[in-house]
Structure 1
Amino acid sequence: MMYDVIIVGGSYAGLSAGLQLARARRQVLVIDAGQRRNCFAATSHGFLGQDGQAPAIIAAEGRSQLMEYATVTWVQDRVVEADGFSVRTEHNGTFEGRRLILATGVVDVLPDIEGLEERWGKHVFHCPYCHGYELDQGRIGVLATSPLAMHHALMLPDWGTTTLFTNGVFTPDAEQQAQLDRRGVRVESGVVRRICGARADLELDDGRVFSLDGLFTMSRTQISPLAAQLGCELADGPTGPYLFTNDMRQTSVPGVFACGDASLAAGSVALAVAEGVRAGVGAHFSLING
């Protein structure tokens, strides 16, 4: 059948977009590969009404509510190719729509340091607003992957005693050092050898070990190859490219919309849900206006 809107990605942004369209009685297809970005975290924070809830429960409840609408179809699969408003999946063939919403999220490419990957989302984080409070004003580390580590280092003293590990990536200049001093941030040079211990203890190449309650770092983010296949314009973000959109979350390709982490320079569950609303409404207006 011909769907009004195909949504690629059934996490928070895709669910939110689908809900707006379902309530407009549009035929909606959601194709989801089941790979939420925050699947490694035990709890989600900062989303009004769901603070402290498990991410999987938020997503499952959202899907359950969306599927109450008779005009919504859900396909559990991975989209491997997009051409206009036609998408081909890995196992279920090709689907046709009149509009397309990319809610594909991003993939985090983590620093190649022993012990970091298995602690991601548990004791190693990227968002202070999502995870800082639970560290209970404890010992917090910032692992530099670029000079952008200054952003984390200047924020995190509000959540605990902060140490910036420059990791051989950059050396703060005089002005940056003065900013760090004003915020009470300790600076440690040296290359990080590994992350170890029950939480996120950090060992430098000179053998020193720093006991930490949590560690923050910036990943590099990668977006879905579908964007390039469709010819969507990209914008440069601090951690990687993201999809350029207008106020209604339409990309540079007419009729193709984007929402969630794929179209934001930063992300959270609350932001993803809000952006999903805008993309869903934008797609609906596009259908109305032909």
Structure 2
Amino acid sequence: MTYDVIVIGGGPAGLSGAVALGRALRSVLVIDSGEPRNAPADGIHNFLTRDGMTPAEFHAAGRAEVLRYGGEVIDGSVVSARPGFEVLVSGGATFRAKRLLVTTGLADRLPDIPGLAERWGSMVLHCPYCHGYEVRGKAIGVFGDAEKVRLWQQWSSDVIPLAVDDVAAVEDGGVRLKDGSFVVRDYLVVTTRMEARAGFLDDIGLKPVEHPMGIGTYLPAIDPSGRTEVPGVWVAGNVADPMAQVITSAAAGLTAGAMINFDLLPALDTP
């Protein structure tokens, strides 16, 4: 079987795009690796009517909607996408489609400090709009410049700067400095390098590039719908916009899905 669309990635962008395509009566397959970027977070915020929902609950609800509109969802990681949109999945299965929607998100590369990665998403944070309200008034240490410190001071008066090179380890309740002293902090804020999960697209000529803001890599779109320079391939969500939150990723998936449906319409007869 050749699907109308294969959606690679089962996060908010991919699931939203798949729902839009299902409602347009398109055959759609979502391939979901089950590795959402926000998995460590306690809940989703800034998403109207979904505030506080856990990432797992959101994911399950989104998959159920895709199935309700006739879409298919499988678990697996895409190994490669080949010319003609032949998609090879871990385990050896191969699927084909007329169009691809890539919504694989990104990976956060953390500073190399012992104890930091284990506390990512709980004690260690990165986005004030995702977590600021929940940690308001707490003692916060910020790995970053003066502007980042100033931003976090909107949520707490107890915000101090920290330098990665000065820290020996992150421990419960704060950081151990290389001089042996301990700085008590409830939460820490880091800047990550955000890298698009898109290495499987090399065979069709689509590769991540450095983001112009210097924050990592992404797959650029050539128009607001998420269309890429490779005909028949769209991108949405964090793989294309590293700064996007859950609600904006879902909106981008909807836009891409609608435009893919339009792109699949038969050509108009011309006199």
Q: CA deviation at 1:222?
A: 2.1
Q: Measure the CA separation in 2 of the matches of 1:261 and 1:110.
A: 17
Contact 1:13/1:259 (8 A) holds in 2: yes
Q: CA deviation at 1:226?
A: 2.2
For residue 255 of structure 1, what is the aligned residue in structure 2?
A: 232
- The C-alpha deviation readout for 1:239-262, integer Å capped at 9, x for no partner, is 211011021101111110011110
Q: CA deviation at 1:101?
A: 0.5
Q: Measure the CA separation in 2 of the matches of 1:265 and 1:32.
A: 19
Provide the TM-score with structure 2 as the length reference. 0.91
Residue 186 of structure 2, aligned match among 209, 213, 236:
213
1:167 and 2:147 equivalent?
no
Provide the TM-score with structure 1 as the length reference. 0.85
Q: Which secondary structure state, in structure 2, belongs to the residue aligned with residue 87 of structure 1?
A: strand
Contact 2:113/2:164 (8 A) holds in 1: no
Contact 2:226/2:236 (8 A) holds in 1: yes
For residue 157 of structure 1, what is the aligned residue in structure 2?
A: 153
Aligned residues: 261
Contact 1:8/1:104 (8 A) holds in 2: yes
Aligned ranges for residues 3-18 of structure 1 at < 5 Å?
3-18=3-18
Classify 1:192/1:229 alpha carbon distance in 2 versus 1 (closer, same or farther; 3 Å): farther
- In structure 2, runs of 5+ residues without a counterpart are none
- The C-alpha deviation readout for 1:191-235, integer Å capped at 9, x for no partner, is 1111112x4x01211122221121111111222202433322635
- The C-alpha deviation readout for 1:125-172, integer Å capped at 9, x for no partner, is 11111111111221111113xxxx44422311111121111334xxxx
Contact 2:114/2:169 (8 A) holds in 1: yes
Classify 1:39/1:265 alpha carbon distance in 2 versus 1 (closer, same or farther; 3 Å): closer
Identity of aligned residues (%): 36
Aligned ranges for residues 188-207 of structure 1 at < 5 Å?
191-197=166-172, 199=173, 201-207=174-180
Q: Measure the CA separation in 2 of the matches of 1:284 and 1:143.
A: 44
1:244 and 2:217 equivalent?
no
- The C-alpha deviation readout for 1:78-100, integer Å capped at 9, x for no partner, is 11011131110112511110000
Q: What letter matches 2:161 in structure 1?
A: L
Classify 1:154/1:95 alpha carbon distance in 2 versus 1 (closer, same or farther; 3 Å): same
Q: Measure the CA separation in 2 of the matches of 1:289 and 1:141.
A: 57
Contact 1:238/1:265 (8 A) holds in 2: no
For residue 261 of structure 2, what is the aligned residue in structure 1?
A: 284
Structure 1 segments of 4 or more deviating over 4 A?
A: none
Q: What letter matches 1:221 in structure 2?
A: M
Contact 2:109/2:193 (8 A) holds in 1: yes
Contact 1:7/1:31 (8 A) holds in 2: yes
Contact 2:227/2:234 (8 A) holds in 1: yes
Contact 1:102/1:256 (8 A) holds in 2: yes
Aligned ranges for residues 168-183 of structure 1 at < 5 Å?
168=165
For residue 249 of structure 2, what is the aligned residue in structure 1?
A: 272
Contact 1:124/1:217 (8 A) holds in 2: yes
Q: Measure the CA separation in 2 of the matches of 1:18 and 1:249.
A: 14
Q: What letter matches 1:222 in structure 2?
A: E
Q: Measure the CA separation in 1 of the matches of 2:80 and 2:64.
A: 27
